[in-house]
Structure 1
Amino acid sequence: MLEARNLTAWLRPGRRGEVLHDVTVRVPEGGCTALVGPSGSGKTVLARCLAGLHERYRGEPLPALRRRTTRQIRGVQYVWQEVRNSFDDRRTVLEQVARTAVRLRGLTTPEADRQARQLWERLGLTSEHRARYAASLSGGELQRVALARALLAEPDVLICDEITTVLDAVSTHLVTAEITRLREQSDTAVLWIGHDLELVERLSDDLVVLNTGTVVESGGSRTVLASPAADTTRLLLRSRHLGTAPTPLTEQSDQ
């Protein structure tokens, strides 16, 4: 459904500004590919590229966002780790969630509102949240609202960038249950970026391990996590047991 091949990306011109080096990643139709790596390894840069800077969508180059068709905007939905700035404080959050289905799917306002409320409840948001504005919601509440907004678009590809970081255990369960429900009921492809390897193993089919902008290991999630070949993967597994966050390292054996 979504693929990037030999992708190199820069944050500024020149070799020193290179953040991703010859990266290939594939998210199959109806599948879930997880992307993991130490802090600063390039995961979010890669996700942004996959959301529209370098790849092709259904065989067609994705143009700049302002020139995209409604189908292309609907097709690839991105849920950020920090979502507060993506909401308009002049409208209630439920109004903004429902408006997604009106604009991108052509639903009537009553039908969009009905579907938004159903999704709202499955994500553990109450009727009290409906009339509130983004500024009055906690980070965890707003993260679930952002996921609801993306899901209501019924995308072909859903990119989730560290979306459980600010969630408690109950909210994380609701979010992952909704992702599982999505995969069971549609062909939506999911790119899951996260640091919780237990969630990664449970949710994903395939795993890509990134370190200093380079893919150091990839394959089936369970296989990679059970028998890691790369130092980075082993470090991530050790960090999970120790409860620490790994930082980028140099991997002589993986070059």
Structure 2
Amino acid sequence: MKVLFVKDYAEMSEKGYELIKEIIETKEEPVISMTTGGTPRGIFKLLVEDIHNGLDISHTTIMNLDEYIGPRDAAYTVRTFMYQNLYDLINVQPHNIFLIDGATEDIENEINRYKEILQLYARDIQILGLGTNGHIGANEPGTPFDSTMFLAEHTEATIQSTMKEYNIERNDTPTQMLTLGFTEILEAKKVVLLVSGKHKAKAVRDFLEGDITPACPASVLRNCENTIVIIDEEAASLLDKAKYL
């Protein structure tokens, strides 16, 4: 695992986007898997700007890490985020858009469908964010490190984070999510974890300096050579920086 320290959210977004752009420009049929929410918004803005300036994504496949269980057009869904922050803002669309269906009535079938897509389209890069309790995707604390795509129950910390991110009431907030498990996440050729903000500082310390344990889901990344972690100053504020020089 490689750790990069950056100044702030803007630089974190730039460094993360550079990795995505390089893959789009150098691979014949690049496959990008994104996360959503506050962490990658800066990356999406940079991607949209570059597409308007001529970046060709017509040969690119874009998929996603997870999806909330709920109506497809709800404010909080990954589908809504992807269209509002990317697909509705560009004239040239990716070659393939693969989204998980969180409105399905057949969870098992949807998991099998998306697993088949993952097998057909090997991901060049998987973008991740870090939850305040150390979760990645919806792999909450306690999720076994050999998890495969599954229906996850949100912890209260994640529910509160979703409420804040999408400005919705508790009763309107989803409590379940279809998510790639650690097995699928780590199958990507490159895994990039982005972390910004003082509210993530404890999670970063637990992730990097605590035990490697399912109690801190992100700690599974520490033994992965294909992982890059990009952390800004506020998120890194509780770390012993000398360990990383």
Bin for the TM-score computed over the shorter chain: 0.3 to 0.5
TM-score by length of 1: 0.34
TM-score by length of 2: 0.35
User: Which structure has greater helix proportion?
Assistant: 1
